[in-house]
Structure 1
């Protein structure tokens, strides 16, 4: 396939269209203030990506409750005090010609121990000091996701993405390995998915008709079962209350980890599903122009760019001008990352990724 389709507009069921098929992945960067308010360096990091040609610029995960904080320097969406910073960000993203989306998140049992003395989850994990939520608290969690979406709308964002992946609290509810509840939020897959669908329903009811809702799912690891996540994805698209589904696959070319499902790509389990007006995208080691084209060739509507967007803020524009574009080779020098809008704190975080950063951390 030529690169032309990557730069075709992509209408969404609600709100404005994406100007091309590139979405910025929600990338943890640890650059916000301790109280969850947006910092200048995080705003600059995202504004650069919007200016670099991404059709939709996604924030890092923004926690919807203080107890849901997953890491230091995390963006917040749990208090009206966050709205001013978010409004400035949404305005700047729009000025660069990109759609804006705030990713809504709760870390659950993966909350950072140094920050959260007693994390919460669907069920108790006594040896880790993790407390299971009461049914009333589950309902409050649902309402806090909805209220965070309303804050995003008030701040001027085009929409939000619900983080239901990677073993965070909504994924913990989806997994029978971590959700051992006996009330209406546990047991069958329908019950385990109830919280997620109540959040989707609540956001759709509480926001304007043109407000966009995305959903991020991951189909493996953290006790998740491919067939169950496939069923959740199918139902979300069947209902049509979301505008896009963002599948986080770690590697868009990989086969399932389940030996019984090998012989085909993990992505193919989702591209074959009826999707109606819901747009489907995928993330996972898309590092060059060929990778991006391959995601569309595999049946997706858009491609979600993570590491390649860290390495080059203008990845879409580089692909536009060079159909053979490839990301810089790893490991990458610190100065290159600083020039691409990463703060020293972000660079320090990236050093956790094996083989990504070369040399020492700049002062």
Structure 2
């Protein structure tokens, strides 16, 4: 319990009051133009007020063509700034760090949303995606950097780059989806150039005091564990980021690759020399015992998603009662409405996880 509620300081100088990150959760609550709704602001402010030390938005697309979901938050236009400014102010008023997750869906951008063929590092017949030109890759990097600048101007403490789940940065990292022959393809060093160019650009333009993190996929989605570990090692060595977020899906699991089994997936990352850079992970973190397991395994923080849907004030409840037992699914729609999820969000949850909502 004591570790869970210890403050955590990042290399940039910003500090969170505990080890609870709100995981970035797709919620379909934004307007069609990417601007924030009152429902989405309420959902996030409730988590900040409920004690989460860092409150992260859902994935926010950094250009219109990179949208991945209906009702997705956008951060590609100054017209979206009023809502973003209001959200940042409300999150920070409760002592929580305010962070935007920057995103581009790449070949996972549905044509029915954007009206265009999805784009990828190289053409993909499976996804009916076209390959980006060299100039378009440069533009993509710039769009991510401008997204971070827009987040800073809105008052957010920082951003996280979504380099996981087979979205555009993950696609560049993957030898399966990236078969380019220019400086952005071939070796892992070249395939990771988009990620590192974005990081360097954000650090240069947003400053040393801006919180900057990366979410990585450790395996699957065209990513091999050995390469994910190598990317993490380089991120730690370059010392340009403040935190690394491993999307493990299950913090207890062993690697999918049989040649790496016999120890936990997380151990391949916690054993790396990360200096002052902070490391966290997401994946089936529900109970206080799960949180303790993650921190005891060497993580600096844990990310909570579905548990945060069930209890907007999970950290506060646990702080007040060390014997706190969180609710389990299924729960009713009325229960979720009371926890700050809108009807649109609940519909999305029901479509993703049918066992989440009781009939």
Shift of 1:300: 0.6
CA distance in 1, matches of 2:42, 2:235: 34
Q: Which residue of 2 aligns with 1:170?
A: 169
CA distance in 2, matches of 1:4, 1:128: 48
Map Cα deviations across residues 206-231 of structure 1 (whole Å, 9 max, x no partner). Answer: 01321110110011111110010111
8 Å contact kept, 1:185–1:195: yes
Say yes or no: does 1:100 pair with 2:104. Answer: no
CA distance in 2, matches of 1:277, 1:140: 32
Larger mean CA deviation between 122-131 and 156-165 belongs to 122-131
TM-score where L is the length of structure 2: 0.98
8 Å contact kept, 2:215–2:247: yes
Pairing 1:125-274 to 2, within 5 Å after superposition: 125-274=124-273
Decide which of 51, 54, 65 is 2:52's aligned counterpart.
54
8 Å contact kept, 1:122–1:132: yes
Tell me the secondary structure at the aligned position of residue 166 of structure 1. coil
CA distance in 2, matches of 1:84, 1:208: 23
CA distance in 1, matches of 2:263, 2:323: 26
CA distance in 2, matches of 1:132, 1:192: 14
8 Å contact kept, 1:15–1:158: no
CA distance in 2, matches of 1:8, 1:348: 36
Number of corresponding residues: 357
Larger mean CA deviation between 56-65 and 206-215 belongs to 206-215
CA distance in 2, matches of 1:238, 1:78: 31
Map Cα deviations across residues 245-303 of structure 1 (whole Å, 9 max, x no partner). Answer: 11110000011111111111111110000001100011100001110111100001111
Q: Which residue of 1 aligns with 2:121?
A: 122
CA distance in 1, matches of 2:31, 2:10: 33
Q: Which residue of 2 aligns with 1:66?
A: 64
Shift of 1:129: 2.1
CA distance in 1, matches of 2:80, 2:13: 24
CA distance in 1, matches of 2:300, 2:36: 31
CA distance in 2, matches of 1:208, 1:252: 33
Shift of 1:76: 0.3
Map Cα deviations across residues 302-347 of structure 1 (whole Å, 9 max, x no partner). Answer: 1111110011001111221222333212111111100000011100
8 Å contact kept, 1:290–1:324: no
CA distance in 1, matches of 2:134, 2:13: 34
TM-score where L is the length of structure 1: 0.97
Structure 1 residue runs without a partner (length 5+): none
Following superposition, which runs of at least 4 residues in structure 1 exceed 4 angstroms of deviation?
Answer: none
Pairing 1:282-361 to 2, within 5 Å after superposition: 282-351=281-350, 352-359=352-359
CA distance in 1, matches of 2:24, 2:251: 16
Q: Which residue of 2 aligns with 1:111?
A: 109
Shift of 1:128: 3.1
CA distance in 1, matches of 2:300, 2:127: 41
8 Å contact kept, 2:157–2:211: yes
Shift of 1:46: 0.2
CA distance in 2, matches of 1:88, 1:128: 37
Decide which of 56, 66, 80 is 2:78's aligned counterpart.
80
CA distance in 2, matches of 1:128, 1:105: 18
CA distance in 2, matches of 1:303, 1:329: 19
CA distance in 1, matches of 2:133, 2:227: 24
Shift of 1:127: 4.6
Say yes or no: does 1:30 pair with 2:28. Answer: yes
CA distance in 1, matches of 2:110, 2:44: 24
CA distance in 2, matches of 1:347, 1:231: 38
Map Cα deviations across residues 82-113 of structure 1 (whole Å, 9 max, x no partner). Answer: 11110110000011110100000000011123
Shift of 1:354: 3.6
